A and B are shown apart, each in its own frame.
Chain A
Amino acid sequence: MLDRPFDRPIVPFRQFVLKVHSRCDLACDHCYVYEHADQSWRDRPKVMSPVTVTAAVARISEHARRHRLDEAHVVLHGGEPLLAGPARLAAIAAELRAGLPEGCALDLRVHTNGVLLNDRFLDVFAEHGVRVGISLDGDRAANDRHRRYADGRSSYDQVVRAIGLLRGRPELYGGILCTIDVANDPIRVYEALVDLEPPRVDFLLPHATWDAPPPRPTGTAYADWLITIFDRWQADGRPVYVRLFDSIESTSRGGPSRTEAIGLEPSSLVVIETDGSYEQVDSLKVAYDSAPATGQHVLRDSLDEVAAHPGVIARQLGLDGLAEQCRACPVVDSCGGGLYPHRYRSGSGFSNPSVFCSDLFTLITHVRDRITMPAAHALPHAALRTLASGMGGAEEIGHLAAGQASLARALLAALRRDAADRAAGRAAERLSRPAWDLLTEIDATNRDALDATLAHPYVRAWAVSCLRGEARPGYLANLAAAAALRAGLDAKLEVEVVDGAVHLPGQGTLTGAAARHDGTATLVIEDGRPRIDDGRAAGDAPAQACWRPARRLTSRGFSVLLEDADPHRDCHQWPAASRLTEADLAAWQERFDEAWRLIEADLPAYAPGLRAGLSTLTPLAPAPPGRDVSSTARHAFGAVAAALPEDPATLALLIVHEFQHVKLGAILDMLDLHEETGGRLYYAPWREDPRPLEGLLQGTYAHLAVTDFWRVRRHAAPDPAEREFARWRGQTAEAVETLAASGALTPVGAWFVARMRETVAPWLEEPVAEAADKAAERAARAHSDAFRR
């Protein structure tokens, strides 16, 4: 046993296994509960009593509150948990749901052998949000090898029947857990599992230790078995999520493992037995009698006290807790020494590699050899220097847009994964699957069309909202339809209808579309024409939805999307305007044309960057009288939003100003320019309120261009340009020094700010009218004095 390292902070528990019933209706000969060294189940009550449940929930709740957990994972386990009966399980689930503190989500699951599962149980699980994981070892022959009743009868038919029930209620279907026996045919096991369409498959190595090694016909029998499945799974296009393979890939790229079976993550799991005693990780039962015991109990001890138990801490030491051989192993960042109990050997305890070491090494090496590691984006020094100076032409914007293109793909993938992983509901799955398939088809056949669709600014805004649970994933179909239209493909999809309109980002909007009760309609694209299919034969349908192609503003060969229809455009600081009338559009076109001519004439250095990166202008609702409002959104690269100002020079200024935010947002997506500042605020010379560091950086970067704008406008409009230039150069220079002295910039951030200083410093030397200079100085002093008071 380790001494408790007092200087280590407690790792809070996040996973809680409740042993709600300690007996089982099967007699599987590979079960770690009954068939291995630890026999403590014999002395335990069969069912967890209501008093114990209440105490356990109170302990979990206390722990969640103390450590501000945003999510707690609870597994109802056994023995066989369904033996507790639906009423008891309902009571436990309800107590858990009611007991956790606000802000702590509950991921509640039950792991069962499935033989008792029926609609009554499933109704309870639906009511209380419990996902069901089923143990099944593969095809009939595989499952019958171990999973039998005490009298030798097969359990296979009951388990497959149970999975059939779950397939009818996919929101409850958690996945299948398959214990490996190398005597089984891996391909038959794989095919049997895939046929059952689980959202997730867990392949589990059988429990064994160096004292009780697994049956092993060859030196790498378990690796060979899993590799056979991996290769087939790859060739099949990965039809199911396999947590072990995903974890090897993830850890190979430096990411987290998603299973306790491999990886260096600290254990955060605690078991509460039917009698209320706390135990360490359950599978330790295979090591020696009473191996998982802590001697602690829910009625006496808090979970913090359990977290300080030396046996718990020993499983949280990562690399430091491993045997020397593991620490020197080239795959240790993926393997992590394997499942903790598998390392046990009398005498040396857990300071050994896994008893499956040769298998883990072979499997991980095989998987690593077959995955591609994407290269990282990089910003050339010269490009970053140009951007840091406040400028940036087509080449520099190209680097930023490339990063955004990768981000868009990552967000889509995360979204698809999110939908699949959470199985958030049947509707989301049904909507997103055909859309996803169409998107991947367009990606394979006409990637330019997909990339152009994904580059629409509000696609990212929607994807981010969706990942936050604030927007509907069904809009993926609208995205796919837009890409199909752009690619010249025919398609038929269930798309989202928002406020009676079907919007296809970047392409246009079908207005007057009737939605079904679930908010969708069937969209058909034929010969480049989108229409709503309401089931009527073509020809006799009355004119219904009307197609309004997206409109553009143009000037001197430059064109931007005028975005007044996208349902996700309202992500700016100010409300978006509704669809423009033809007269409003004409006003925008006239003002844009004049503004663009002004930019090209007076600020030609900004024009190439704008041509390359400004894709969209979004009208905002009219500004309060006497004000001009404009905005950018961090998740909408390429879009500038503004209320139409009175004169073209103001529009030019708003565009140049806001596009600085677009550039810096994309730079910050790629690089860390500053550290976390822990909520510290800084003086901003142009604001009444202090700003966080990133806000100050954004403002200062934008004001480089604002200062430049007034600097060059002095010839055309000395009033107010002279005054504005004097004011902005002083404020921008002061803010640059605040940033430089913040101590919160990263090395590249400090370098970036030094380049900003090089831009503004020469402007301080330029002569300006004395009156303007004095006025700027007085105003700056007054602002600073007022702020300090």
Chain B
Amino acid sequence: MNAVEEIPSEITSELKDLRHVALSEVQEYGGADLGDMLRRVLPDSPDTRVGVAAFQSSI
């Protein structure tokens, strides 16, 4: 199996290292990092819904 020897020296995860990010800032990430991480552990989370351009027109 060729893939055996071709694996890189380190395998990168989709999990971002948040251990040194202040908890108050993790909250603000909100975007892909949180969404991707939640998708991995919680496939039915609201963050995994299909992205669409959200309406925001004013009156």
A binding-site residues for B, Cβ under 8 Å: 14-15, 17, 24, 31-33, 70-71, 73, 75, 77-81, 111-113, 135, 177-179, 202, 204, 237-238, 243, 246-247, 249-261, 263, 265-269, 281-283, 315, 372, 374-381, 384, 402-403, 405-407, 409-414, 416-418, 439-440, 443-444, 450-451, 464, 467-468, 634-635, 669-671, 747-748, 750-751, 754
Contact = CB atoms under 8 A, between A and B. Distances in A.
Nearest to A268: B52
B30 A444 contact: no
A407 B37 contact: yes
A137 to B, nearest CB: 9
A260 B49 contact: no
A409 B52 contact: no
A663 B19 CA distance: 20
Given A376-B15, A376-B17, A417-B30, A255 B57 contact: no
A267 B53 contact: yes
Interface in B8-25: 8-19, 21-25
A406 B15 CA distance: 7
Contacts of B50: 14
Given A112-B59, A443-B22, 8 more contacts: A259-B53, A259-B56, A260-B56, A263-B53, A266-B52, A269-B52, A381-B11, A406-B19
Per CB-CB distance, the 10 closest pairs between chain A and chain B, nearest first, are A250-B31, A255-B32, A256-B51, A255-B31, A260-B53, A268-B52, A670-B13, A443-B23, A413-B26, A253-B32
A265 B13 contact: no
Contacts of B42: 464, 467-468
Contacts of A748: 7, 11
Contacts of A135: 58-59
29 contacts: A14-B50, A15-B55, A24-B59, A31-B59, A78-B59, A112-B59, A246-B28, A249-B31, A256-B35, A257-B53, A260-B54, A268-B53, A269-B55, A374-B16, A374-B29, A375-B17, A381-B9, A407-B15, A407-B41, A414-B45, A417-B30, A439-B23, A450-B23, A468-B45, A635-B41, A669-B40, A670-B13, A671-B11, A751-B4
Greatest chain A CB density within 10 A among B4, B6, B29 is at B29
Interface of B: 1, 3-4, 6-19, 21-38, 40-42, 44-47, 49-59
Nearest to B16: A374
Contacts of A177: 56, 58-59
Contacts of A80: 59
B19 A253 contact: no
Nearest to B38: A414
Contacts of B38: 410-411, 414, 467
A112 B36 CA distance: 34
A177 B53 CA distance: 17
A98 to B, nearest CB: 23
A75 B59 contact: no
Contacts of B55: 15, 17, 73, 75, 260, 269, 281-282
Nearest to A440: B24
Contacts of B23: 409, 412-413, 439-440, 443, 450
A758 B23 CA distance: 42
A381 B21 contact: no
B21 A409 contact: yes
Given A14-B52, A414-B47, A751-B3, A376 B35 contact: no
- Most A CB within 10 A of own CB, among B18, B27, B58: B58
Contact of B59 (A113, A246, A281): A113
A269 B53 contact: yes
Contacts of A247: 31
Nearest to A267: B53
A751 B4 CA distance: 5
B53 A265 contact: yes
A654 B56 CA distance: 55
A547 B56 CA distance: 51
Contacts of B59: 24, 31, 33, 77-81, 111-113, 135, 177
A111 B41 contact: no
Nearest to B51: A256
B41 to A, nearest CB: 6
A246 B31 contact: yes
